[in-house]
Chains A and B, each alone.
Chain A
Amino acid sequence: MQSTKENIRIGFYVCHCGHNIAAMVDCADVAKYVKGLPNVVLSRDYKYMCSDPGQELIQKDIREYKLNRVVVASCSPLLHEHTFRSATAAGGLNPYYFHMVNIREHDSWVHTDRGEATVKAKALAHAAIDRVAFHKALETKTVKINPDALVVGGGIAGIHAAMTLANAGKKVYLVEREPSIGGHMAKFDKTFPTLDCAACILTPKMSEVGAHPNITLWSYSEVAQVDGYVGNYKVRVKRKPRYISEERCIGCMDCISACVFKEPKFEDEFNEGLGKRKPVYIPFPQATPQIVVIDPNVCLNFKRTKGPDGTPIVSDRCKKTCVEACGDKNAIDFTQKEEIKEIEVGTIIVATGFKTFDSKRVPAYGYGIYKNVYTALEIERLVNASGPTGGEVILREGKNPDGSPKHPKSIGIIHCVGSRDKKTNVWCSRVCCMYSMKLAHLLKEHTGAEVYNFYIDIRAPGKGYEEFYNKLLDEGVHFIRGRVGEVTDWAMTPEEEGKLVIRVEDTLAGYVRRIPVDMVVLSSGLEPQADAQDVRRLFNMSCGTEGFFLERHPKLAPVNTFTDGIFIAGACQGPRDIPDTVAQAGAAAAEALVLIDKGFVEQEPNTAFILDEECSGCKSCIPLCPYSAILYDETRKKAHINEALCKGCGTCVAACPSGSIVQNLFEDEQIFSEIQGVLAYD
């Protein structure tokens, strides 16, 4: 046993964490109990171990009492293990002579009986005392950081993160799934509460991205595979064929006007289907990059049927007036195929955004049943001067007696569609109060209609937000508190005929109301992207229960993930508005810069190694390593672990049939002693 070779001297500290631990665990009693355990030289309880005086106490004791092991019982090691290892090192010991006991998250916070919680704390402390005797001095590994970065998603979050990194002089790959960057923000008309024109503040940033020498912009592309680890990621990016050479297209759009389709005929995704586009198109005037796309599903030059691998087949049956118009530029290439690019980056920022709740999931609100029920995003396009109607708010259904398009005279905006509801999404979408009010303002401004907002609560906690709400009240926008029961065309009175009736319990007035309107706007909530689960697997991240990407710590590491070197920004982490998104994107970029500028990262030395003498060369471990870190040395007939590739999962250690692999920090003897320890105290 270790202790026979070395005189183990353990210092034990139990932290009160203010009342967080002390209220449920009798810290003094724990300290007293531990004092009586073998090898323990001193045992103290202290109010805040993580404070400077707490850390200094450890350092002083190491010197004074010649401690060679330190155990702290406090919070989760995921929070403060690093802090106390550093304190141990500052006291002159190898930091890995430290071990931590979690008596807050795993004990005081989750139990209600002080006696039981104290017993548990003692058992956990006992285990640590037993375990730490087996600890060994280890060296911290460092890994170099590739200074190039990858940003996934070209919405406002991705754009801001990429610009921040690029302006700091780093090379950035920005990968966007759609043909243009801009994301949801590009579709918005104005932004709340300042009513800045979204395009006016976003498009300059977009062109800057497009022109930045440090940014490689790959639109219409998706990340297909991510390998490697912090500082050294190998990423495969799938570049979808847009049938246009990005190098040759100058964005003149002559091809669009020359297309054999004289009129736009196909649903325009950017305008939420409210407008039409041609098979060859540019998503919107300020699209970045300014390069057209050909949609093979509708372009006449492609067959209706696709090849066995799903790729479109060129039919050559169109007159190809577009090619003619392109002329010498020769940018149109119907033979373009999907391409895979491989890049190496050190850090990755995932900013894949959100999707809006599908309002059809609440049939009571009539979306998809009644034509004059709109989603908020449709209204954004409808009130937008560059939208399909040039900013004129025209109803989808109904004409004036003279046959002219009809404008709404009354509009109902329903908040929280799909949100704050156990049947759909329980969370608050955080932006829908504010954007509903913004749309209320814009609709009133455009149409002069009576606008009713139906809300559960008005949540306006941002800077200038409450003031915006007050402004709307002054403008005469109606606010009715109550969750809408249904939207129906069932008229009970002549005034309701031909209208959409919103039935709602007005909880301030205390009765059920029927409010007939011409137009209903559904403020749909925010949801994780449909493929969020796939994306999270791709980047080895976690998702919360609702499906948004999980941050490493909600307060202390809000843009970090559980995978080092991968950060998250924007609404892929949870619903948020533009100011918060930009702030978070900046934070993610700063976190990435910390790694890049430091140049290396320290890694847990929890790697495994083979006991060379003892290895029989049975090869059982070799196929188990997901990182191919275990190789079979044909000359020596033994297995060998490449420490640089080992990530420290310990699977091979558990599976070695002759016990000839050891994992640093998680040696068999350390774990056995921990098991013995937790069971030593009843």
Chain B
Amino acid sequence: MTKEWRPRIVAFFCNWCTYTAADLAGVSRMKYASNVRVIRLMCSGRVDPQFVLDALTRGADGVLIGGCHPGDCHYAEGNYKMLRRFQLLKRLLRDMGIEEERVRLEWISAAEGDKVKAVINEMTDQLLKVGPLGLPQRFEEWDKEVTRLEEEIRGGDAAGAGCACAAKLQKPAAASKSEVAHV
């Protein structure tokens, strides 16, 4: 596909403020970049940092978290909890070589449809400048150094019939979902 690259943003919006604001933006027929995918949560406090990184490792170029303004959380203080996580997460991401622009926390009240539009457009512009993150592609690139040997062995196995232990590579991004083992 010759389509020009557009950043992909996964957004986690709280049900009461930012999701509603995005609804308002819709009802008001505001126009904004189409590359954002909103996932509704009840509160920004539900945003597990794992969600942010899971989105990035699965190919998102940016993650936007939207919650109620400080003091306005429907659940009193869930947004503060997200804010505290975000402060350290930003540092961790920086240390891991992920640009600051890729993960953003915004307070958007239910009345601020225009802010939804402004933030999404602004973030899209910033990400256009920063460029693709492409973690799945990077992982693939990294793993070329080991897939070579694996393929060699697999080829050998196919030839030397009878060997049934073709090592199936466990995809690194998908954590091993081992069953509970009590010993």
Interface size on B, residues (CB 8 A): 53
- CB of A537 within 8 A of CB of B71, answer yes
- CB of B81 within 8 A of CB of A624, answer yes
- Asked whether A110 and B48 contact (CB < 8 A) given A562-B16, A672-B54, the answer is no
Within 8 Å of chain A (Cβ to Cβ): is B123?
A: no
Q: Which of A105, A124, A537 contacts B37 (CB 8 A)?
A: A124
Cβ–Cβ < 8 Å partners of B158 in chain A: none
Please report which residues of chain B, range 19-77, place their CB below 8 angstroms from some CB of chain A when the two chains form the complex. Answer: 19-20, 22-23, 25-27, 29-32, 34-35, 37-43, 45-51, 54-55, 58-60, 71-72, 74-77
The 4 closest A-B pairs by CB, nearest first: A105-B26, A650-B46, A651-B45, A626-B76
- CB of B48 within 8 A of CB of A654, answer yes
Complex: chain A residue closest to B54, CB-CB: A675
**Interface range, A side:** 35 or more
Q: Which of A76, A110, A116, A606 contacts B42 (CB 8 A)?
A: A606
Cβ–Cβ < 8 Å partners of A647 in chain B: 75
- CB of A651 within 8 A of CB of B43, answer yes
Within 8 Å of chain A (Cβ to Cβ): is B8?
A: yes
- CB of B34 within 8 A of CB of A649, answer no
Complex: chain B residue closest to A108, CB-CB: B26
Cβ–Cβ < 8 Å partners of B77 in chain A: 626
Question: Most A CB atoms within 10 A — which of B10, B23, B59?
Answer: B23
Within 8 Å of chain A (Cβ to Cβ): is B150?
A: no
Complex CA–CA separation, A113 to B22 (angstroms): 18
- CB of A651 within 8 A of CB of B46, answer yes
Complex CA–CA separation, A78 to B47 (angstroms): 20
Binding site for B on A (CB under 8 A): 1, 76-78, 102, 104-107, 109-113, 116-117, 119-120, 123-124, 127, 537, 540, 542-545, 550, 554, 562-563, 606, 614, 624, 626, 647-651, 653-655, 663, 666, 668, 671-672, 674-676, 678-679, 682
Cβ–Cβ < 8 Å partners of B20 in chain A: 78, 542, 562
- CB of A678 within 8 A of CB of B39, answer yes
Complex: chain A residue closest to B27, CB-CB: A105
Q: Which of A104, A537, A542, A672 contacts B26 (CB 8 A)?
A: A104
User: Please, could you name 28 A-B residue pairs with CB atoms under 8 Å apart, sorted by A?
Assistant: A1-B177, A76-B26, A78-B19, A102-B23, A102-B40, A106-B23, A106-B26, A107-B34, A110-B34, A111-B31, A127-B37, A542-B17, A542-B20, A542-B110, A542-B111, A543-B109, A562-B16, A562-B110, A614-B180, A650-B41, A653-B48, A654-B46, A654-B47, A668-B50, A672-B54, A678-B10, A678-B39, A679-B60
Cβ–Cβ < 8 Å partners of B22 in chain A: 105-106
Task: With both chains docked as a complex, state the minimum distance between the C-beta of B65 and any C-beta of chain A, in angstroms.
Answer: 11
- CB of A666 within 8 A of CB of B42, answer yes
Complex CA–CA separation, A225 to B49 (angstroms): 34
Task: With both chains docked as a complex, state the minimum distance between the C-beta of A5 and any C-beta of chain B, in angstroms.
Answer: 13
Given contact pairs A649-B75, A666-B42, A678-B37, enumerate 10 new A-B contacts (beta carbons under 8 Å).
A77-B40, A104-B26, A111-B34, A120-B37, A624-B45, A650-B41, A650-B43, A651-B43, A653-B48, A675-B58
Complex CA–CA separation, A107 to B34 (angstroms): 7
Cβ–Cβ < 8 Å partners of A650 in chain B: 41-43, 45-46, 78
Q: Which of B51, B72, B76, B109 contacts A675 (CB 8 A)?
A: B51
- CB of A112 within 8 A of CB of B31, answer yes
- Asked whether A545 and B112 contact (CB < 8 A) given A654-B47, A679-B59, the answer is yes
- CB of A113 within 8 A of CB of B78, answer no
- CB of B31 within 8 A of CB of A123, answer no
Question: Most B CB atoms within 10 A — which of A107, A117, A675?
Answer: A675
Question: Most B CB atoms within 10 A — which of A105, A109, A542, A649?
Answer: A649
- CB of A550 within 8 A of CB of B111, answer yes
Complex CA–CA separation, A263 to B175 (angstroms): 84
Complex CA–CA separation, A679 to B110 (angstroms): 26
Task: With both chains docked as a complex, state the minimum distance between the C-beta of B135 and any C-beta of chain A, in angstroms.
Answer: 11
Cβ–Cβ < 8 Å partners of A112 in chain B: 31
Complex CA–CA separation, A649 to B41 (angstroms): 8
Complex CA–CA separation, A78 to B25 (angstroms): 14
Task: With both chains docked as a complex, state the minimum distance between the C-beta of A341 and any C-beta of chain B, in angstroms.
Answer: 24
Complex: chain B residue closest to A650, CB-CB: B46
Cβ–Cβ < 8 Å partners of B49 in chain A: 654
- Asked whether A663 and B46 contact (CB < 8 A) given A110-B25, A544-B111, the answer is yes
Complex CA–CA separation, A152 to B177 (angstroms): 54
Cβ–Cβ < 8 Å partners of B19 in chain A: 78
- CB of A649 within 8 A of CB of B78, answer yes
Complex CA–CA separation, A84 to B10 (angstroms): 26
Task: With both chains docked as a complex, state the minimum distance between the C-beta of B118 and any C-beta of chain A, in angstroms.
Answer: 13
Complex CA–CA separation, A177 to B112 (angstroms): 30
Task: With both chains docked as a complex, state the minimum distance between the C-beta of B112 and any C-beta of chain A, in angstroms.
Answer: 7
Complex CA–CA separation, A650 to B44 (angstroms): 9
Complex CA–CA separation, A119 to B36 (angstroms): 11
Complex CA–CA separation, A477 to B154 (angstroms): 97
Task: With both chains docked as a complex, state the minimum distance between the C-beta of B38 and any C-beta of chain A, in angstroms.
Answer: 6
Cβ–Cβ < 8 Å partners of A663 in chain B: 42, 46
Cβ–Cβ < 8 Å partners of A626 in chain B: 75-78
Cβ–Cβ < 8 Å partners of B38 in chain A: 102, 106
- CB of B23 within 8 A of CB of A105, answer yes
Complex CA–CA separation, A102 to B23 (angstroms): 9
Question: Most B CB atoms within 10 A — which of A624, A671, A682?
Answer: A671
Complex: chain A residue closest to B13, CB-CB: A106
Complex CA–CA separation, A112 to B40 (angstroms): 23
Cβ–Cβ < 8 Å partners of A545 in chain B: 111-112
Task: With both chains docked as a complex, state the minimum distance between the C-beta of A597 and any C-beta of chain B, in angstroms.
Answer: 27
Cβ–Cβ < 8 Å partners of B111 in chain A: 542-545, 550
Question: Most A CB atoms within 10 A — which of B26, B35, B45?
Answer: B26
Complex CA–CA separation, A105 to B76 (angstroms): 27
Cβ–Cβ < 8 Å partners of A544 in chain B: 111
Complex CA–CA separation, A182 to B78 (angstroms): 39
Cβ–Cβ < 8 Å partners of B26 in chain A: 76, 104-106, 109-110
Cβ–Cβ < 8 Å partners of A117 in chain B: 34
Cβ–Cβ < 8 Å partners of A105 in chain B: 22-23, 25-27
Task: With both chains docked as a complex, state the minimum distance between the C-beta of B179 and any C-beta of chain A, in angstroms.
Answer: 12
- CB of B10 within 8 A of CB of A109, answer no
Cβ–Cβ < 8 Å partners of B29 in chain A: 109-110
Complex CA–CA separation, A577 to B51 (angstroms): 49
Please report which residues of chain B, range 110-133, place their CB below 8 angstroms from some CB of chain A when the two chains form the complex. Answer: 110-112, 117
Complex CA–CA separation, A678 to B30 (angstroms): 22
Cβ–Cβ < 8 Å partners of B42 in chain A: 606, 648-650, 663, 666
Complex CA–CA separation, A110 to B114 (angstroms): 11
Complex CA–CA separation, A666 to B111 (angstroms): 25
Complex: chain A residue closest to B76, CB-CB: A626
- CB of A653 within 8 A of CB of B46, answer yes
Please report which residues of chain B, range 142-164, place their CB below 8 angstroms from some CB of chain A when the two chains form the complex. Answer: none
Cβ–Cβ < 8 Å partners of B45 in chain A: 624, 649-651, 654
Task: With both chains docked as a complex, state the minimum distance between the C-beta of A106 and any C-beta of chain B, in angstroms.
Answer: 6
Cβ–Cβ < 8 Å partners of B71 in chain A: 537
- Asked whether A123 and B37 contact (CB < 8 A) given A105-B27, A626-B77, the answer is yes
Complex: chain A residue closest to B46, CB-CB: A650
Please report which residues of chain B, range 68-118, place their CB below 8 angstroms from some CB of chain A when the two chains form the complex. Answer: 71-72, 74-78, 81, 85, 109-112, 117
Task: With both chains docked as a complex, state the minimum distance between the C-beta of A52 and any C-beta of chain B, in angstroms.
Answer: 24
- Asked whether A649 and B110 contact (CB < 8 A) given A78-B23, A679-B10, A679-B55, the answer is no
Q: Which of A110, A540, A614 contacts B31 (CB 8 A)?
A: A110
Task: With both chains docked as a complex, state the minimum distance between the C-beta of B181 and any C-beta of chain A, in angstroms.
Answer: 12
Complex CA–CA separation, A144 to B17 (angstroms): 27
Complex CA–CA separation, A675 to B47 (angstroms): 12
Q: Which of B27, B48, B74 contacts A540 (CB 8 A)?
A: B74
Cβ–Cβ < 8 Å partners of A606 in chain B: 42
Cβ–Cβ < 8 Å partners of B43 in chain A: 649-651
